[in-house]
Amino acid sequence: MDLLLGAVVLGVLLGCFYAAVSVGLSVAFGLLDVPHVAHPAFLVLASYGVFQLNESYDIDPLLAGLAITPLFFVFGLLAYRVYYETFERRGSDAAVRGIAFFFGIAFIIEVLIILQFGVDQRSVSATYIGKSWRFGEFRIPIRQLVAFAVALALTVLLAVYLSKTFMGRAIRAVAQDEEALRLMGANPVRIKQFAFGIATAVLGIAGALLIIVAPVEPTLDRAYIGRTFCVVVMAGLGSISGTLIAAIILGVAESIVLTLFGASWAPAISFAMLLGVLAVRPQGLLGR
């Protein structure tokens, strides 16, 4: 029973971390329909940015994540503009060709990281990494508690931003009916570009969480492509609160399977759950 309870607690923490690394993709892919397979590569790039600041200036990883957020916002604006000009503007098969574009970007990022940092694993140091909180016999890694709290705050903030602010509503509107927005006199491309900037900016913090939770290496993005798309699709495309719920379900399921049934089954379980959810609710957990 203790093991099961522990697995659930660690699973919730892990799930919130998964939500943080997936929430940007929920905006880019879920709301904007951009086949952003380079999302995990952007995430790993952010981790290396955090590593550089932590290593060179001894800045706390979370503060470093905050510091690179504006840079990532601008990076997102530029990336979307290039994607729009070269693919989206040119026709209906933009999505298919867009996948090739983003795969290309992902490989370029991977190679640039290798050239700059080499192929070795990198990690950061902070007072909360490598320690745990004890509750009797039960111990929780503090880095996971930090990731949990920051991920939760990040997801809630983004959900509030998208539902309560004027720009957030405009982003939702462009996702629902681009033509109607154009008739209202707004420029849907600029709104989508701004939204893509937001989706990329949150990776500053998410990248910090990634390197806080575990060491990173240049090809780590490949491990996250499946997981992040799984979370976003299971959540229901574009649903931020759904992303949090789906990520927690995935984290708890993985944790229970790892603890009680054997680690070999963990990847199969997450994708089996995705298939199960899609069979019952094709629009995802909170999709419309």
Binding site for another protein (CB under 8 A): 2-3, 6-7, 10-11, 14, 110, 114, 117-123, 125, 129-132, 139-144, 213-215, 217-220, 222-223, 254-255, 258-260, 262-264, 266-267
> b/e per residue, 155-176, with b = 16+ CB within 10 A?
beebbeebeeeeebebbebbbe
Q: CB of residue 105 vs another protein: minimum separation in angstroms? A: 16
Q: Which CB sits closer to another protein, 51 or 84?
A: 51
Euclidean distance between CA atoms 283 and 268, whole angstroms:
21
Nearest 5°: the CA angle 83, 89, 93 is 85
- The residue among 95 and 138 lying less far from another protein, judged by its C-beta, is 138
Which is nearer to another protein, 132 or 186 (by Cβ)? 132
Q: Least CB distance from residue 254 to another protein, whole Å?
A: 8
Shortest gap between Cβ of 137 and another protein (angstroms)? 9
Q: Name the residue nearer to another protein (CB basis): 27 or 211.
A: 211
Nearer to another protein, 90 or 131 (CB): 131
CB of 226 to another protein, least distance (A): 8
User: 26: part of which helix (H) or strand (E)?
Assistant: none
User: Minimum CB separation from another protein for residue 130, in Å?
Assistant: 6
DSSP string covering 119-147, please? SS-B----TTSS-EEEETTEEEEHHHHHH
Minimum CB separation of residue 218 from another protein in Å reads 7
Question: What is d(CA 101, CA 148) in angstroms, rounded to the nearest whole number?
Answer: 33
Size of the chain in residues? 288
How many CA within 13 A on the CB side of residue 152?
10
Q: How far is the CB of 287 from another protein (least distance, A)?
A: 26
Q: Is 118 helix (H, G, I), strand (E, B) or coil?
A: coil
Strand partners, 132: 141
User: Residue 13: how many CB atoms within 10 A of its CB?
Assistant: 25
With respect to another protein, which residue has the nearer C-beta, 222 or 281? Answer: 222
**Closest CB to another protein among 168 and 267?**
267
Rounded Cα gap, residues 182 and 260, in angstroms: 53
